[in-house]
Amino acid sequence: MSYSPDRLFAAISERVKPRKALGQHFLVDSRILIRIVAAAELAADDVALEIGSGSGTLTRRLVQRAARVIAVELDPRLAAPLPQRLGYPPNLTVVEADARTVDIAALVGEDRPYKVVANLPYYAANPIVRRFLESPPKPRLMIVMVQQEVAQSIVARPGEMSLLSIATQFYAIPKLVCTVPPSAFRPPPKVKSAVVRLEPRLQPAVAVTDEAAFFDLVRAGFAAPRKQLRNSLSQGLSVSNAEGAELLESAGMDGRRRPETLSLEEWAQIYLAWEQRSKGGSTSLR
């Protein structure tokens, strides 16, 4: 009995056992794989950086589209046999490494444009996304699978914003590609997933003089997100409620609002007011 390449690869992949300790859930739904590859808009001369290649179901499609595919896989049990499992494609490089700490420039080169395509482990999704958005060389595009709750936070608009919303949208323009049911994975996770498209900005969404200080301020503002902004910010800055209210008033902000309602531009207004006041010794971070 003969098998098609697709069926043969599926049969081989079935033998690869996911490791629970590493949060491994292998994507097996071909419809979702097609959506991910389409969202990446890969051209024949593109470099695709895949994070978490797993059993290689997505890798297999990437090597058919991109000029070069760099697959970063933390699990040596999966990384080592991947080229053989895919038939030794000449445009595939497999790197056994942790995407949270790997040298990005060494992987892709200092000036070579690249795209990130990844089914991210839930436990490491946030630090990986932030690292690739904040650290040079930045990708031209990121297509990432994350927990649906995380995806909703990434693409949230004022009214439902979080620290993750601000941190991501400061550096990139997000768009939800599709939601993914647990049945699309082996084994099925307990939660739903979603694919998000992130287009890194050439410049941050708002101009601030010190990005680290800006995020310290935003983090302080979300110290008690269920409280009114004047109380949450005062708690985060370790200042009196009166000082927090005065800072917000100087920024032209209603202190009765909730942190989740503020836009990036409004956080930048508060930062500017805080920066001006801190230079005068009025309000400072811990």
- Domain 5-200 shares a fold with domain 211-279: no
Would you state the pLDDT for residue 15? Answer: 57
Span 101-114, average pLDDT: 89
pLDDT, the chain, mean = 90
Q: Which CATH number fits domain 211-279: 1.10.8.100, 2.60.40.350, 3.90.1300.10, 3.40.50.300?
A: 1.10.8.100
Structure tokens that stand for 176 in this block: 């939800």
- Taking each helix axis as running N to C, give the angle between helix 211-221 and helix 163-171, from 0 to 180 degrees, rounded to the nearest 10: 150
Residue 129 has pLDDT above 90, yes or no: yes
Q: pLDDT tens for residues 50-81? A: 999 988 999 999 999 999 999 999 999 899 99
Could you tell me which residues are beta bridge partners of residue 206? none
> Where are the chain's structural domains?
5-200, 211-279
Residue 223 has pLDDT above 50, yes or no: yes
The pTM (predicted TM-score) of the whole model is: 0.88
Q: Which is nearest to 269 in space by CA: 286, 254, 280, 285?
A: 254
pLDDT band at 269 (very low <50, low <70, confident <90, very high): very high
Fold observed for domain 5-200: Rossmann fold (3.40.50)
